[in-house]
């Protein structure tokens, strides 16, 4: 008996409890009419509230449908109301997708107003099969191939394990009428093409294709849920730092994770940052290639201004602007230079100090060894210097590699030069040749500051 089957579905997914207030989507079609009849027949003391939503697309049919639904509810002793969808003047998205989103917004609003625990929708097993095929055709992820969830938040689908044939037979046995939406008979929409053409063709190969697709969807949803739980737990251990525009993940563990789980981990991690949501499977695979195959310092550009940068120990995914290559400037002594593209300020001042206070952001150099004015620029091929404490010449490129400076950050690091010789890689290391000696009389203090925002 169909009612027993629906009771089994409700119990299986814990859809309802005694005394629940339930908003029921009622179109007048076979599915929603059956849903309302069965919910009314349950021995659960439910408070039912039926809602007809006018999509504004069939003005000649809508009044009849509203009258039918109102009379049906009156006969069953169920509260009824109608709602109107107000379509935006210009619909950019697919009309059917837009209408569906607006329909659920209305149902959620009414559920909130009525303090309803559940929103009951009349999707059946055939709808499930159609959805799985649609998602497969569109190249959906595992989650999409799981089809329509029986329960999602407040939304429940008690008919999801019941076929359309059984529903129509049930109504016929009771002598209950229903309305056929004319838009369901046209092949204008992809779902209707699947329903009217693809599924009948597939049934010639497998008469039980609807059951097969629905069963597979149920299995996939379970496996997808399991993988999702693993991914969430794994993701929590991998995040090093997270802001509204930057996500940093520990690199070494990422390189040991199976690709199937890694895809989900990256999707979960990206989804935790508002500006990075919606990155597709193709681009997640690009990030995986970066993680596993690229050298340290490599980066890739992704949609929506997102960049992924492979460091030496951290994978950085960011929507921050890419560091700009700095121009060439003159720096007077004393003097101050604002480098907007690097968002830093360089300051040069004469000092009697010959040592002390030096750090990465401040060095003291021999004033008499300098050629004025100093030059400030970005790196060039072939640049070299004599790092303090290193004892011999070293290429700037090798220094950056050894100091694990990301590739796309190297052009934004100011080099301070005297003539053609590097005095200081600002913020990093000075040159041994300009270090004050015992007999040094005059010095210049060079300091680096971040620009105030």
Q: Which domain CATH number covers 349?
A: 3.50.40.10
Give phi and psi for 322, each to the nearest 5: -65, 135
Same domain, residue pair 281 and 333: no
Same-domain status, 119 and 147: yes
The tens digit of pLDDT for each residue in 290-319 reads: 999 998 888 899 998 899 999 889 999 999
> Does residue 29 have a known ligand-binding role?
yes
- Local structure of 425: helix, strand or coil: strand
What CATH number should be reported for the domain holding residue 166? 3.40.50.620
Q: With respect to residue 149, please indicate whether it lies within any of the assigned structural domains.
A: yes
46 with 73, same domain: the answer is: yes
Based on the fold, state whether residues 346 and 446 are members of the same structural domain.
yes
Q: Is 30 annotated as a binding residue?
A: yes
280 and 193 assigned to the same domain? no
pLDDT for the residue 182: 65
Contact at 8 Å (CB) between 339 and 329?
Answer: yes
Instruction: For residue 231, tell me if it sits in a domain.
Output: no
User: Tell me, what's the pLDDT at 95?
Assistant: 65
382: containing domain = 329-450
Whether 9 and 64 share a structural domain: yes
* Domain annotation covers residue 354: yes
Identify the band that residue 141 occupies on the pLDDT scale cut at 50, 70 and 90: confident
Averaged pLDDT score across all residues of the chain: 91
Cβ count near 368 (within 10 Å): 13
pLDDT at 87: 66
What is the per-residue pLDDT for 235? 93
Residue 92 — pLDDT band, cuts 50, 70, 90?
very low
Residue 32 annotated in ligand binding: yes
Say whether both 194 and 263 belong to one domain.
no
Residue 228 lies in a domain: no
pLDDT tens across 188-245, in order? Answer: 778 889 998 999 999 999 999 999 999 999 999 999 999 889 999 999 999 999 999 9
Residues 211-225 have pLDDT tens digits of: 999 999 999 999 999
Kindly state whether residue 153 falls inside one of the protein's structural domains.
yes
pLDDT score for 93: 45
Greatest Cα pair distance in the chain = 110
pTM over 0.85: no
pLDDT at residue 186 in the model: 67
Q: Is 197 annotated as a binding residue?
A: no
CATH code, 284: 3.30.465.60
Q: State whether 260 and 314 are in the same domain.
A: yes
188 and 300 belong to one structural domain: no
Task: Answer yes or no: is 20 a known binding residue.
Answer: no
Of 299, 318, 337, the one marking the end of a domain is: 318
Distance, in Å, from the CA atom of 77 to the CA atom of 319, rounded to the nearest integer, reads 56
Pairing relationship of beta strands 429-430 and 421-425 according to DSSP bridges? antiparallel
- pLDDT at 357 (0 to 100): 66
Contact 126, 114 (CB under 8 A): no
Do 334 and 313 share a structural domain? no
pLDDT tens-digit profile of 128-139?
999 999 999 988
The answer on whether 430 is annotated among ligand-binding residues is: no
Residue 284 contacts by C-beta under 8 Å, 6 or more apart in sequence?
263, 266, 267, 270
355 — pLDDT class (breaks 50, 70, 90): confident
* Upstream peptide bond of 334 is cis (omega within 30 degrees of 0): yes
Q: Using CA atoms, how far apart are residues 431 and 444, in angstroms rounded to an integer?
A: 14
Nearest-angstrom CA–CA distance, 404 and 390: 17
Residue 452: pLDDT band by 50, 70, 90 thresholds?
confident
């Amino acid at each position: 008996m169909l009612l027993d089957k629906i009771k089994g579905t409700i119990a299986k997914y814990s859809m309802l409890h005694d005394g629940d207030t339930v908003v029921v989507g009622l179109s007048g079609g076979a599915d929603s009419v059956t849903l309302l009849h069965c919910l009314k027949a349950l021995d659960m003391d439910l408070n039912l509230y039926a809602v007809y939503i006018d999509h504004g697309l069939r003005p000649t049919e809508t009044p009849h449908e509203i009258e039918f639904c109102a009379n049906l509810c009156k006969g069953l002793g169920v509260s009824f109301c109608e709602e109107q969808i107000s379509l935006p003047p210009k619909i950019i998205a697919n009309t059917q997708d837009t209408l569906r989103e607006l329909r659920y917004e209305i149902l959620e609003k009414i559920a909130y107003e009525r303090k309803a625990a559940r929103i009951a929708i009349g999707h059946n097993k055939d709808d499930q099969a159609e959805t799985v095929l649609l998602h497969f055709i569109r190249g959906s992820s595992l989650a999409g191939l799981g089809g329509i969830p029986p329960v999602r938040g407040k939304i429940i689908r008690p008919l999801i394990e019941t076929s359309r044939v059984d529903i129509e037979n049930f109504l016929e046995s009771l002598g209950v009428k229903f309305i056929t939406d004319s838009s369901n008979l046209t092949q204008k929409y992809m779902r209707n093409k699947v329903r009217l053409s693809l599924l009948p063709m597939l049934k010639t190969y497998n008469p039980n294709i609807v059951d097969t697709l629905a069963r597979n969807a149920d299995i996939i949803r379970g496996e997808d849920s399991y993988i999702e739980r693993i991914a969430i737990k794994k993701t929590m251990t991998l995040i090093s730092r997270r802001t509204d525009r930057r996500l940093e993940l520990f690199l070494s563990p990422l390189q040991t994770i199976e690709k199937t789980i890694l895809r989900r981990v990256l999707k979960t991690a990206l989804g935790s940052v508002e500006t990075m949501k919606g990155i597709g499977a193709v681009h997640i695979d690009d990030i995986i290639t970066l993680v596993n195959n690229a050298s340290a310092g490599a980066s890739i550009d992704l949609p929506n201004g997102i960049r992924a940068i492979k460091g030496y120990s951290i994978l950085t995914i960011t929507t921050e602007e890419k560091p700009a290559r700095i121009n060439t400037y003159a720096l007077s002594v004393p003097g101050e230079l604002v480098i907007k593209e690097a968002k830093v300020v360089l300051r040069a001042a004469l000092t009697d100090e010959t040592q002390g206070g030096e750090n990465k952001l401040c060095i003291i150099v021999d004033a008499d060894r300098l050629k004025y004015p100093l030059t400030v620029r970005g790196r060039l091929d072939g640049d070299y210097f004599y790092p303090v404490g290193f004892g011999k010449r070293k290429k700037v490129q090798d220094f950056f590699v050894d100091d694990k400076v990301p590739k796309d950050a190297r052009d934004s690091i100011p080099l301070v030069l005297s003539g053609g010789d590097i005095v200081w890689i600002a913020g990093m290391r000075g040159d041994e040749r300009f270090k004050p000696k015992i007999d040094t009389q005059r010095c210049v203090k060079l300091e680096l500051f971040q620009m105030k925002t």
